[in-house]
Structure 1
């Protein structure tokens, strides 16, 4: 078993280092240049569209989940234990300089996230809960390659809702056991596992709207709690902050390193851990982005780019500062969650370990929900059979239970490599379809310059086939909103007539 695990680790490392990461970086730079640095230029639009009113249907109900709810579903998957364990590992391996490369990767990856989520919105379809879509859908409808969509869907289902969700459950069990001192109690993992599995079942059997209602509460709550904890730690070590910033920027270039090869290792560590955390370009977040009811595909592209920034510049940075201000000497630092936990306890005392355990539970459980939804969207792509969906939900709950009571090393090594294949498949697709995304962006910015709230209909992209929705303005904005607009227009005409 050790030999298999070692082979999987080596295979995954080579795939990411020599194939996936170069493609990610080069495409991210290309998308940045071609889009006119959209991930920076339209930051104000990201916040504006995040709170957009959700278009309603003829029955007066929202057509699907809101832009904010789609943001929280994707954030639930993005913001997981990796934001604590992954950052701790990156700093332990690559030093403070790895943080700089995580930041840079988030900025470059923001352009890739914009492209993939805009495409997911464009090629989404309607279902009983509202909308669904993602890479599998734009591979089928945009590239006319259903085989590619099925391949992607299968890889994602194996990777996220099964492998990664079981790992999140394993982390919950390990953290709770350590907090209450029950590592030696053989029955405790089963109790914790059953409890987490039941909580998961209560949410996932309720469909995407219930998932959205849970994540829109959990995600802001856990982010705020972790932010407050981090600010207290940084405040108590405020004198260290200038030194920490200096270390992040100087050691990113290997200025303080003796061995020349250290520079490349720092870069690879920061870039890889950053991508694992924010998922930009992986093809996971577009599954959530496609579920939103918005009036223009670019709006959700911008919202999901903001999700990358939320994950890296806020949550990951909090972890980095907690560690770097509290642990000046990283030479003997432990990797993963242990490094963050030691940093908190050394500053705030043993109670902070309990607080971190609660935050880790929220992080891990919300990730399980986000991962589940990604899988559901792709199950429905492969087959509309409701029995298959019920079976999938049952297997996810069982995977959560199994992950709570078994070892995780082999599963992590396997999922790590499989996720590289998933990312590569998605990157090829968005590279081929990026021209359509740039046309969408051009249409959006033109309407904004005209002072309009952009509304997209498929006749605005002549020559592009496979678009299932966006039929006309009535279907996009909703009959209620459109009627209101007409009434306002009529009042405006009457006003002009009276003045004349």
Structure 2
């Protein structure tokens, strides 16, 4: 089975996908006139604007829901893996895919907002690639083909977020806790299931409330402590930066033979971590209560920077500055060692232990505990975000049938299948916690890759509404008004939610609820 999964993964994550992600980022950067640079002040301002409503969450809550999915084991174990198999140069390619991917994230998340809808069961906003793939071309000859495309994406997302991806998070969490405290992986699995069950059964609002508290706090604490350690080794930083750039382009003799691996692992782990183009960000973006889709598109673009340029960079510099790394040839721990920092025990496996060793240089013996706690929070919030995305796509697959009442069960079809999905994701968490890291990461990579293929091809075809929304937003800002969205004026079809949207009614609903 392991050999079969590795073969599937090699096809999914071929060079074609790597260069497609980079090319899409370049293209969207040019088409948006590098919105990821021009609009940084607006991104920061919009993060803290907007209020939640009975149907939607605030922009900040949507951002933290998105970061809950982005900031996870990819920022710790993922960075360690990228450096181990791609060399220090992999960190440069993570930066590159983050910079370019911010424009991709803007496009996909703006589309997510444009084509969102209300859940017939809960009244909460739902949206994502499945929704814009099936609605954007609803009035064209290609409508039937894209409805099928949307259904395929939804099915793949339910499989990836409900079964494949959660196992990676629980696996890293279990490994870190076992390393720190000797806790059995089964104990970690059971404890995680109990906490997850409490949060995910509470619905979108409880997920948003949980993420808005946990994610910012843990991200800030993690970054600050990592930077303290990097500053303690400040003399190493110039050399590290030089090594990163030299090995990224094959100019360093020690890493010249693995420059292709640097690109592959940098892009692969970069996308796994920041999720730009993967199609996960639009789900959280669609849940936000905003007056114009471009607003949340900008906020979600900034989330890519937070994830990779802040958290992943902190991890990478921590590992390299403390010498807690080892680089292998052939993208396997069985390959010969090309370089090592000299601060790792000989028998340490690639993964969170690299980071734990780095943190130990600040306070001997405390590194393992801190990383285990960090991973516990990061991975937990990521699994919760995965559940939300899987549930959203399950709702899409069911459509109006989700409200179908089943008399013998005294509940709706949507409610029953939601319970099954909740059980499935909890089983995935248990299986991931007790399986090997290699198997868990292979399954996760397959899930990420399949979603990325489908989503990037889709947004390249459906890009125009996002560009129209950006131009409309900037025009209204230049005129000095708070931008509002009218799809009819922009000749955007299929945006049924916005065709009947009344911001005053939203405010009245919020006031009445208060």
TM-score (norm 2): 0.87
Distance 1:8 1:23 in 2: 22
Query: Closer, same or farther in 2 for the Cα pair 1:477/1:251, shift >3 Å?
Result: farther
1:256 and 2:252 correspond: yes
Please point out which of 360, 365, 375 is paired with 1:350: 365
Determine helix, strand or coil for the equivalent of 1:458: coil
Deviation sequence 1:55-102 (CA, Å, 0-9, x none): 64xxxxx44111111111111111111111111111122222221111
1:317 maps to which residue?
313
Please point out which of 492, 498, 509 is paired with 1:470: 498
1:213 and 2:202 correspond: no
Query: Closer, same or farther in 2 for the Cα pair 1:50/1:111, shift >3 Å?
Result: same
2:377 maps to which residue?
362
1:430 and 2:459 correspond: yes
Deviation sequence 1:240-297 (CA, Å, 0-9, x none): 1222222222332221126754332222221221111111001111111111111100
Bigger Cα displacement from structure 2, 314-323 vs 21-30: 21-30
Alignment of 1:22-421 (within 5 A): 22-54=19-51, 56=53, 62-127=54-119, 128-143=122-137, 144=143, 145-182=146-183, 188-257=184-253, 261-327=257-323, 330=326, 331-332=339-340, 335-383=350-398, 384=402, 385-421=414-450
Q: Over aligned residue pairs, what C-alpha RMSD do you find?
A: 2.1
Contact 1:55–1:295, Cα closer than 8 Å, also in 2? no
Distance 2:26 2:451 in 1: 20
Please point out which of 14, 18, 31 is paired with 2:15: 18
Bigger Cα displacement from structure 2, 170-179 vs 366-375: 170-179
Distance 1:55 1:268 in 2: 40
Distance 1:33 1:173 in 2: 43
Deviation sequence 1:413-433 (CA, Å, 0-9, x none): 233224322211111110111
TM-score (norm 1): 0.89
Determine helix, strand or coil for the equivalent of 1:390: helix
Distance apart, 1:389 and its partner CA: 1.4
Query: Closer, same or farther in 2 for the Cα pair 1:482/1:390, shift >3 Å?
Result: closer
Bigger Cα displacement from structure 2, 420-429 vs 314-323: 420-429
**Corresponding pairs, count:** 469
Contact 2:172–2:437, Cα closer than 8 Å, also in 1? no
Contact 2:233–2:322, Cα closer than 8 Å, also in 1? yes
Query: Closer, same or farther in 2 for the Cα pair 1:259/1:55, shift >3 Å?
Result: closer
Contact 2:89–2:259, Cα closer than 8 Å, also in 1? no
Contact 2:109–2:282, Cα closer than 8 Å, also in 1? yes
Contact 1:141–1:466, Cα closer than 8 Å, also in 2? yes
Contact 2:169–2:382, Cα closer than 8 Å, also in 1? yes
Bigger Cα displacement from structure 2, 209-218 vs 228-237: 228-237
Distance 2:67 2:325 in 1: 32
Distance 2:292 2:103 in 1: 17
Distance apart, 1:171 and its partner CA: 2.3
Distance 1:124 1:376 in 2: 15
Distance 2:448 2:73 in 1: 17
Contact 2:291–2:503, Cα closer than 8 Å, also in 1? no
